[in-house]
């Protein structure tokens, strides 16, 4: 007799690799974003221009909401690398999305410190408040709900991140209020120190 829980090993063999998403549109940076990318690229020697790949991808995501196949090709041309190198980076990092997401991407940390402080209940309450399951986007395109690993603010557990900003110490009973506040006030509803997207790209 075994005391180990039954584990479905098929789960571990399933590929979760993000595949390039062809939205059928040709991507190009808007002039502001192109200028911002050029500012960032100046920090590197000309032969190291591709070191700007992460901010280059963040700029795409902020403009488009996700990383499309065409945008990967555009980034490759803009920073001087291959489209395969861009795809490697996009498929490695979970913060890059390869499908359309909601206006508010609500990410609940599920790593141990947050889990011990009730993250699972937070997810349950958000599921009810938003009317979607983790990894889903609602029919209006307003919310996407995700469970993610450590967001780097374990002392403020349970932590939720909405787009690029933290919401700290969210209690399960406050999940509905957060959803309502986001609808009403957008990211102003969040409590954390705000790392707003353009600043992070500039920084």
Binding positions for ligand FES, rule: CB under 6 A? 109, 111, 113-114, 150-154, 157, 159
Q: What is the DSSP string of 56-107?
A: HHHHHHHHHSS--HHHHHHHHHHHTS-HHHHHHHHHH-TTS-SS---SEEEE
Q: Which is nearer to ligand FES, 101 or 115 (CB)?
A: 115
Q: What's the min distance (Å) between Cβ of 168 and ligand FES?
A: 9
CA atoms of 22 and 36, how far apart (whole Å): 25
Q: Which is nearer to ligand FES, 20 or 113 (CB)?
A: 113
Q: Which is nearer to ligand FES, 35 or 112 (CB)?
A: 112
Q: What's the min distance (Å) between Cβ of 120 and ligand FES?
A: 12
Q: Which is nearer to ligand FES, 70 or 165 (CB)?
A: 165
The answer to whether 128 and 153 are in contact (CB under 8 A) is no
The answer to whether 156 and 117 are in contact (CB under 8 A) is no
Q: What's the min distance (Å) between Cβ of 193 and ligand FES?
A: 14
Q: What's the min distance (Å) between Cβ of 157 and ligand FES?
A: 5
Q: What's the min distance (Å) between Cβ of 148 and ligand FES?
A: 9
Identify the CA nearest to 142 among candidates 87, 102, 109: 102
Residue 125's CB is within 10 A of a number of other CB atoms, namely: 21
Contacts of 193 (CB under 8 A, 6+ apart): 166
Q: Which is nearer to ligand FES, 22 or 155 (CB)?
A: 155
CA atoms of 60 and 23, how far apart (whole Å): 14
């Amino acid at each position: 007799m075994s005391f180990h829980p039954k584990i479905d090993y098929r789960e571990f063999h399933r590929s979760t690799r993000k595949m390039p998403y062809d939205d059928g549109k040709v991507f190009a940076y808007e002039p502001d974003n192109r200028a911002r990318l050029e500012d960032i690229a100046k920090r590197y020697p000309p032969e190291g221009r591709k070191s700007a790949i992460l901010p280059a991808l963040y700029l795409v995501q902020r403009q488009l909401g996700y990383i499309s196949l065409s945008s990967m090709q555009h980034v490759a041309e803009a920073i001087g690398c291959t489209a395969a190198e861009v795809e490697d980076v996009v498929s490695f990092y979970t913060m890059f999305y390869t499908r359309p997401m909601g206006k508010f991407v609500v990410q609940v940390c599920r790593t141990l410190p947050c889990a011990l402080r009730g993250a699972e209940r937070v997810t349950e309450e958000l599921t009810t408040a938003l009317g979607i399951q983790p990894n889903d986007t609602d029919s209006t395109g307003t919310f996407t709900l995700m469970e993610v690993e450590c967001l780097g603010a374990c002392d403020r557990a349970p932590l939720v991140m909405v787009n690029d900003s933290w919401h700290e110490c969210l209690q399960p009973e406050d999940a509905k209020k957060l959803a309502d506040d986001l609808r009403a006030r957008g990211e102003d509803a969040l409590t954390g120190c705000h790392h707003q997207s353009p600043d992070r790209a500039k920084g």
